[in-house]
Amino acid sequence: MKTITTIAALRTELAQGPRPIGLVPTMGALHTGHLSLVARAASKCPQVVVSVFVNPTQFDDPADLRAYQRDLDSDAALAEDAGATILFAPDAGEMYPEGFATSVTVTGPLTETLEGAQRGAQHFHGVTTVVTKLLNIVAPDVAYFGQKDAQQALVIRRLVTDLNLDVKIEVLPTVRDEDGLALSSRNARLSAADRDKAIMLHAALQAARQAARSSDDPMQLRTAALDTLARAEVEPEYVAIVDPQNLSPVSHVNGAGALVAIAARIGGVRLIDNLVIEPSKET
Ligand code: AMP
């Protein structure tokens, strides 16, 4: 595996290798969740680019950006083990040289609700701009994303459709620790006590799933999730039961199914998680 830091060198390297090319965009601090995407890409593509770029424009909280874990040597070893052929690790000057003045924005509820409402739509504008740049730089056949960031995956699908980008988007399931906690680079910042609280996000999602077995009413699902969080003294930023395709509120779970999405700040660490409830087969 090669580590490459400039766009020109990356393009030269990719042009010499075979297709298909797979791209796994990340912000580094790689864990088994990221590596599941890399392994999937490697099973399909002879060239697999893992990008590691802590994109400053998508952080709404400067403290979160400062605290974001960076360890390129460890990332390189893990990415290589999982089957990456190139680690692309540009610095901010390479991605946003002086005079940079363009933004790619997906507008409307997809970027303005949930994470967009909490962090500001600017967060997703940062994501869509950097992902567009990465897609143009790498020109992958397939780009891999995690369901852990369900809203982000929808926003990127919208972006790719609307701008006719010639890439297939594959979204892979959330990888969890044994206790259910969704793997996240931010988990390393949780104290032991906070980690115990953090696993309640998953418990709340399970409570919503359980409620969906006996009720089609999204309010019942939301109440079940909120009660679980309240018992653990976790105050969520939001618990939303929405349409898994467009994030609009749902009146029945059994129509299009439902995405249950949760965000909470625990011990100063902001965590998100979600699950999709499929519509019941009987209806
Ligand atoms: P990040 O480095 O947090 O920007 O994440 C890079 C990619 O890895 C995104 O597509 C995430 O959705 C995905 N990802 C992060 N955590 C997980 C996880 N626990 N399971 C699966 N994919 C994940």
For residue 232, the CA-to-ligand 1 centroid distance in Å is: 26
Q: How many C-beta atoms lie closer than 10 Å to residue 278's C-beta?
A: 12
Which residue is associated with the tokens 């972006």?
159
What CA–CA distances, in Å, run from 47 to 35, 40, 85, 138, 197?
15, 12, 6, 11, 40
DSSP secondary structure code for residue 267 in this structure:
T
Would you please indicate which residues are annotated as catalytic (active-site) residues? Answer: 34
Burial class (CB in 10 A: 0-12, 13-18, 19+), 179: exposed
Q: Which atom of ligand 1 is nearest to the CA of 149?
A: 12
pLDDT for the residue numbered 283: 44
| Report field, pTM of the whole predicted structure over 0.85 | yes
Q: Please provide the DSSP assignment of 40-104 as one string.
A: HHHHH-SEEEEEE---GGG-S-HHHHHHS---HHHHHHHHHHHT-SEEE---HHHHS-TT-----
Q: Say yes or no: CB of residue 27 within 6 Å of ligand 1.
A: yes
Task: Please list, in sequence order, all residues whose beta carbon lies within 8 angstroms of the beta carbon of residue 213, skipping any fewer than 6 positions away.
Answer: none
Q: Which atom of ligand 1 is nearest to the CA of 176?
A: 19
For 133-187, the pLDDT digits (tens) are: 999 999 999 999 999 999 999 999 999 999 999 999 999 999 999 999 999 999 9
Query: Ligand 1: which of 31, 35, 127, 148 to mutate, judged by most atoms within 8 Å of the beta carbon?
Result: 148
Tokens standing for residue 110: 């997809």
d(CA 144, CA 25): 7
Q: Which atom of ligand 1 is nearest to the CA of 27?
A: 2
R_g (Cα) of the chain, nearest Å: 19
Q: Say yes or no: CB of residue 185 within 6 Å of ligand 1.
A: yes
Picking from 168, 200, 162, the residue whose alpha carbon sits closest to that of residue 181 is 200
Q: Say yes or no: CB of residue 148 within 6 Å of ligand 1.
A: yes
For residue 56, the CA-to-ligand 1 centroid distance in Å is: 17
At 159, the amino acid letter reads L
For 107-145, the pLDDT digits (tens) are: 999 999 999 999 999 999 999 999 999 999 999 999 999
For 65-116, the pLDDT digits (tens) are: 999 999 999 999 999 999 999 999 999 999 999 999 999 999 999 999 999 9
Order of all β-strands in the sheet with 236-242? 236-242, 258-266, 269-277
Query: Ligand 1: which of 31, 32, 34 to mutate, judged by most atoms within 8 Å of the beta carbon?
Result: 34
